[in-house]
Chains A and B, each alone.
Chain A
């Protein structure tokens, strides 16, 4: 894996909501192709605000988010025109939502959900769209005979996997995950994580994973940022941060997890 050019660069990203409420402050990092960055912190620590800023959904009130758009190199995401940014969001990026209802079209079959991004970039051959949808549903371990079923007939774990297939079908370079295992029971969580880890490694997709679950970042991420009160309090390799936390808050966070 080449580590020459970063895929994404955040420089002093901060967002203050109207009314003065601080969402996040002065967050800087570089994300390289194929790398998985974990962001942990307690509720209200600014994780989701930061993710929204990074994913182009919320314009930060300070700082810049840059993304490698190909030939032009790193470009400020919020300087791109809106159609350019939307194109980026549905081809090169993907967001796995905590609640699959936010990330899926619940009235459209699983196959249609997976095929949507293909059709959005101009694929107009039904047979090919369907073949690709079947292929991707297979990769996330959904049986081929469920391809025409509506997502609401699926279990929570399956919905989450359809959501992942729907995003990966466009071969994105960067995936944002907001609590990807939230609301799933432990055994389903473990399988989903296993699947995600395999897919991320196989495809070389870079990812930003926001979670409060340290087990998730332990399994998935290469590097870890610990956030508190909107600021990054500690940043380093995942194993280093989890095994040898330096900041008092990181120490508290790590020690709060029950060792089963």
Chain B
């Protein structure tokens, strides 16, 4: 984000058919106003006039509108889908912004100024110079328990959050522990309870006092919310069942990383499998630095993407 681009600049995308970053300038203004409101009240779901985007709801229309409103010509965009940079959603959104904004894109977390994400926060710590934009399918953390919108708004307004613990209670009563593993509710700035979007609860602690600005866009529900840099973000829990993140018994099969979020990958039809970093950029960086995981050889033999055996 550098010099603001105004309507008067008549800035055009590289193919000339669209305004810079697809949205018209008035829409961007409206979204920026909503963003300011959302940042001013951390965790509050600010309604905005969501636009139809050239893709289906559920594909990140909220996140894209937020990104389109804050991106500038000098920005460098990274898009994550399930931690990876090379999956469908990430590739198509990256291509979309390359075409309608002509901005630089990257897969390296450290190089990016704006990171649009679905389902993960990168393993590498984010900095004050970065903004992370989350795609949110369901912004209302209370929705599954209280279907009435008028009622949930009041519950937020009056800080009536007992119901959120009913959900956690149900988990423990049925399974002996809190089994909510993604979209795990958090309390922001000791005030609003917020859905952190479907990131694994493993990533929840990264939101606490994060130096980067965090923006959340829900396209279908037309809500924007935000966590300003260095804000308290606490995951809800019980005194006798404290919040805990997932742990993994094995390191990443490709890069030997520990303390990161791992995905299970099936290797053959005989039950062989391995765990690899969900954050593909983090894994790549470690492999380039010379780290070799216990399953690297097997992965190379199978031509696993990113491994030594990958033709690319």
- Bound together, the chains give a CA A189 to CA B237 distance in angstroms of 40
Contacts A82-B158, A108-B145, A120-B162 given; does A148 touch B174 at CB 8 Å: yes
Considering the chains assembled together, what is the distance between the CA atoms of A124 and B239 in angstroms? 6
Give Cα distance in the complex from A147 to B174, angstroms. 10
Q: In the assembly, what is the distance between CA of A221 and CA of B144, in Å? A: 39
B263 within 8 A of A: no
Please indicate the chain A residues that have their CB under 8 angstroms from the CB of B239 in the complex. Answer: 124-126
> In this complex, which of B154, B162, B239 has the most chain A Cβ atoms within 10 angstroms of its Cβ?
B162
Interface string of B79-111 (1 = CB under 8 A from A): 000000000000000000000000000000000
B173 near A148 with CB under 8 A, answer yes
The interface stretch among B11-19, B163-171, B303-311 is B163-171
B173 touches A112 (CB 8 A): yes
A119 to B237, CA, bound (A): 12
Residue A105 at the chain B interface, CB threshold 8 Å: yes
Contact B241 A126 (CB under 8 A): yes
Across the two chains, which residue of chain A brings its CB closest to B236? A124
Of listed A119, A127, A129, A148, residue having the most chain B CB within 10 A: A119
Within 8 A of A (CB), among B264-280: none
Q: Are the CB atoms of B165 and A119 closer together than 8 Å?
A: yes
Closest to B239 in A: A125
Which residues, 98 to 154 on A, are CB-close (under 8 Å) to B? Answer: 105, 107-109, 111-112, 115-117, 119-122, 124-127, 129-130, 147-148
* A197 adjacent to chain B (CB < 8 Å): no
- Say whether A86 contacts B170, CB under 8 Å: no
Residues of chain A contacted by B174 (CB below 8 angstroms)? 109, 148
Select the residue from B158, B173, B237, B238 with max chain A CB neighbours within 10 A: B173
Q: Would you call A116 and B170 a contact (CB within 8 A)?
A: no
Minimal Cβ-Cβ distance residue in A for B164: A119
Q: In the complex, how many angstroms separate the beta carbon of B94 from the nearest chain A beta carbon?
A: 40
| From B145, B173, B237, contact of A130 by CB (8 A) | B173
- Contact of A20 with B by CB under 8 A: no
Question: Cβ of A19 < 8 Å from any Cβ of B?
Answer: no
Interface size on B, residues (CB 8 A): 19
**Is there a chain B Cβ closer than 8 Å to A83's Cβ?**
yes
Do A126 and B170 form a contact, CB below 8 Å, given A105-B145, A108-B145, A120-B162?
A: no
In the complex, the chain B residue whose C-beta lies closest to that of A122 is B162
Q: A126-B240, A126-B241 are in contact. Are A86 and B169 (CB under 8 A)?
A: no
Q: Is B172 engaged at the interface, CB distance under 8 Å to the other chain?
A: yes
Q: Which of A108, A121, A127 interacts with B166 by CB under 8 Å?
A: A108
**Majority DSSP secondary structure for residues of B touching A:** helix
Q: Which residue of B lies closest to A130 (CB)?
A: B173
**Interchain CB contact under 8 A, B162 and A116:** yes
**B169-220 with Cβ < 8 A to chain A:** 169-170, 172-174
Q: Do B173 and A124 have beta carbons less than 8 Å apart?
A: no
Report how many residues on chain A are interfacial, defined by Cβ distance under 8 Å.
Answer: 24
Q: Which residues of B contact A109 (CB under 8 A)?
A: 170, 173-174
Given A83-B158, A126-B172: A116 in contact with B241 (beta carbons within 8 A): no
A124 and B238 form a contact (CB under 8 A): yes
Interface check B74, CB cutoff 8 A: no
Interface membership of B160, Cβ < 8 A: yes
For residues 215 through 248 of chain B, which have their beta carbon under 8 Å from a beta carbon of chain A?
237-241
How distant is the Cα of A122 from the Cα of B170 in the complex, in angstroms?
17
Contact with B along A209-227 (1 / 0, CB 8 A): 0000000000000000000
Q: A residues within 8 A CB of B238?
A: 124-126
A86-B158, A148-B174 are contacts. A124–B169 as well, Cβ < 8 Å?
no
Q: How far is the CA of A117 from the CA of B162 in the complex (A)?
A: 7
Q: How far is the CB of A130 from chain B (nearest CB, A)?
A: 7
Verify A111–B169 contact, CB threshold 8 A.
yes
In the complex, chain B residues whose CB is within 8 Å of the CB of A121? 162
The residue that B163 contacts in the complex, of A120, A124, A127, A129, with Cβ under 8 A, is: A120
Among candidates B163, B172, B173, residue contacting A116 with C-beta atoms closer than 8 Å:
B163
Closest-CB distance, B192 to chain A (whole angstroms): 15
Given known A-B contacts A112-B173, A125-B239, A126-B172, A119 and B166 have beta carbons under 8 A apart: yes
Scoring A86, A124, A125, A147 by chain B CB atoms within 10 A of each residue's CB, the highest score goes to A124
Q: Supply 18 further A-B pairs (C-beta < 8 A) apart from A109-B173, A126-B238, A126-B240.
A: A83-B157, A86-B154, A105-B145, A112-B166, A112-B170, A115-B166, A116-B162, A119-B162, A119-B163, A124-B165, A124-B239, A126-B241, A127-B240, A130-B169, A130-B173, A147-B173, A148-B173, A148-B174
Task: Return the 8 tightest CB-CB contacts between A and B, nearest first.
Answer: A120-B162, A119-B162, A119-B165, A126-B238, A83-B158, A125-B239, A148-B173, A112-B169
- On B, residues with C-beta under 8 Å from A are 145, 154, 157-158, 160, 162-163, 165-166, 169-170, 172-174, 237-241
For this complex, 20 residue pairs linking A to B, each with C-beta atoms less than 8 Å apart, are A82-B154, A83-B157, A83-B158, A86-B158, A86-B160, A112-B173, A115-B169, A116-B163, A119-B166, A121-B162, A122-B162, A124-B237, A124-B239, A125-B240, A126-B169, A126-B238, A126-B241, A130-B169, A147-B173, A148-B173
